[in-house]
Amino acid sequence: MKQFLARQGYQVKGEIHHCDMVAVREGAPPMLVVVELKLGLTLELVLQAVDRMAACDAVWIAVPRTRRGRDRDRRSHKLCRLLGLGLLAVNPRRGSVEVLVEPAPYRPRRNLRRRVRLLDEHGRRRGDPSPGGSTRTPIMTAYRQAALVCAAALRDGSRRPRDLTPLAPAAGRILLHNVYGWFERTGRGVYRLSRAGEAALQRWAA
């Protein structure tokens, strides 16, 4: 690790004011770099590196090189870029250092398709039926809400998709695909509620 920085013109010293490595390159002003060495990429390490940023020009996180560990996870790379941290993968046996992320400011490209999907789902949901952070309860999506509307309308007897369209504009597609198994086809273009549909209405009565 020291050789890696030394080749870039830095004078490296270890364990200075709780920093694993401090590297300085002469100049006006001098370039001050901090390197935190750990056995794995953890939240605590990231928080520690962020804390160092206020006192130096750049912060590197150095962890052992792995094949499928967090140092290879693209999400880890994005996080480091967003924070302006550098990320190094070190192979002690070979004495090699791989630069995974440069310590520089970063702004991710907008994912317009994902943005549209988020806005669309937000707009189509009725109320806020799925509290954030819930893991044991199925998410009440806009699609599930519309399917429940169709199921409630079929509770009184078989009907055609066009009869349900005023209540759920996508009724035809919902009944045809029958994603949850809540509907049964009784004739050409005619559907009724299945036992699974009855159970769903009881479960989602609220």
The beta strand positions in 93-188, using DSSP E, are: 96-101, 183-187
Top-level class of domain 138-206:
mainly alpha
Q: Is this prediction's pTM over 0.75?
A: no
Confidence grade of residue 25 (pLDDT, cut at 50, 70, 90): confident
Q: Are 193 and 151 in contact (CB under 8 A)?
A: yes
Q: Are strands 183-187 and 190-193 parallel, antiparallel or unpaired?
A: antiparallel
User: How confident is the model over 99-129, as pLDDT tens digits?
Assistant: 999 887 656 577 788 777 777 877 787 876 7
Cα 67 off chain centre by:
21
CB under 8 Å to 4, separation ≥6 — which residues?
Answer: 88, 97
Average pLDDT, stretch 9-13?
86
Could you say which of 3.40.50.720, 3.40.50.10670, 1.10.3720.10, 3.30.470.10 is the CATH number of the domain covering 2-101? 3.40.50.10670
User: How confident is the model over 40-88, as pLDDT tens digits?
Assistant: 889 999 999 998 888 888 899 999 988 888 888 999 998 999 899 999 9
Q: Is the pLDDT of residue 193 over 90?
A: yes
3-state secondary structure of 64: strand
Burial of 166 (0-12, 13-18, 19+ CB in 10 A): exposed
Q: What is the pLDDT of residue 3?
A: 83
Domain borders along the chain are 2-101, 138-206
User: How confident is the model over 122-172, as pLDDT tens digits?
Assistant: 778 787 676 555 556 778 889 999 999 999 999 989 999 999 999 999 999
